[in-house]
Structure 1
């Protein structure tokens, strides 16, 4: 296997991070990138907010099954930036859960199904990464959805989630609380 020519540039933009993640996934699919290179590249991507956001958008929504069974190198790379990764995983879980409800209301089952896939992939990452702060943040999101208070109050209000969407978020979180 030849070494990949891909690299993460300093001050990567959100759009560049999406494109780079898609390239990494293509090399993964073709078996043209080693586990160490995957871990290094994604680890570098998730160091910055733009890089991490772009990674999660591309990785979690990709139509290929790669994100359905993430490799240990993916978990290790995410664990290397616990603060950024925790925030984005928690918020992604909330957003995709609420979007399932939104798309179902609009009779858009295809897009609702895509949001369900993102929720499933996000849940798998949350269950699999070893980030000690993640469980506490998930609990805080749950508290905010049930009480209307807490650290995620402003986040939930900014997106304007209604009771049905908040219930969907709670239902996505409940299996993670035990």
Structure 2
């Protein structure tokens, strides 16, 4: 895997991207990859929609400490592919915030904790990327905030598709404002 074919990584399915990322995170943590390999492989996986989705499912929900203490090389990689990841990162904040509430209501405290963890990781990453003056992340976060505050806008379809109720929308708004 350290010499993973870039072309192959650019065409991974959603499930393949999840599996790749799990193994890849273990290799990064074990220092089996050079910084150049990390960046090249990140760029390849995060160059297409299924790769982005699979990467972040694995990265944000898994047990890797690299998601809690984001390595500088990851921040550099995320910066290089900002145009591919800004929307999903903002949506991850929204979805994990809303799901934590849904799980709490259902009495599923284990799932609630998992959603809270994803929310914390997503917010942390979003904040670090915004601090690098990456306007695309801040602009996307503000687009969702504006929709929540106005009751209509660019994210209205997203909010309606997931049927977020007023409590969930308020929690999302508060999460996004915490940055």
Q: TM-score range with shorter-chain normalisation?
A: over 0.9
Question: CA 1:64–1:81 in structure 2 vs 1: closer, same or farther (change >3 Å)?
Answer: closer
How far residue 152 of structure 1 moved from its aligned partner, in angstroms, is 0.5
2:97 is the counterpart of 1:97: yes
Give, in whole Å, the separation in 2 of the partners of 1:75 and 1:100: 26
Q: Which residue pairs with 2:178 in the alignment?
A: 175
TM-score with structure 1 setting the length: 0.92
Gap regions ≥5 residues in structure 1? none
Q: Which residue pairs with 2:142 in the alignment?
A: 139
Q: Which residue pairs with 1:29 in the alignment?
A: 29
SS in 2 for 1:128: helix
RMSD: 1.4
Matches within 5 A, 1:80-91: 80-91=80-91
Gap regions ≥5 residues in structure 2? none
Question: CA 1:26–1:7 in structure 2 vs 1: closer, same or farther (change >3 Å)?
Answer: farther
Q: Which residue pairs with 1:114 in the alignment?
A: 114
Give, in whole Å, the separation in 1 of the partners of 2:46 and 2:2: 18
Give, in whole Å, the separation in 1 of the partners of 2:112 and 2:84: 26
Give, in whole Å, the separation in 2 of the partners of 1:29 and 1:137: 30
Task: Provide Cα deviations, 1:61-112, integer angstroms capped at 9, x if missing partner.
Answer: 0113221011111112112222221111111110001001000001111111
> In the alignment, is the contact (CA less than 8 A) between 1:36 and 1:73 conserved in 2?
no
TM-score with structure 2 setting the length: 0.92
How far residue 35 of structure 1 moved from its aligned partner, in angstroms, is 2.2
How far residue 41 of structure 1 moved from its aligned partner, in angstroms, is 0.7
Question: CA 1:73–1:7 in structure 2 vs 1: closer, same or farther (change >3 Å)?
Answer: farther
SS in 1 for 2:178: helix
Structure 1 runs of 4+ with >6 Å offset: none
Question: CA 1:50–1:156 in structure 2 vs 1: closer, same or farther (change >3 Å)?
Answer: same
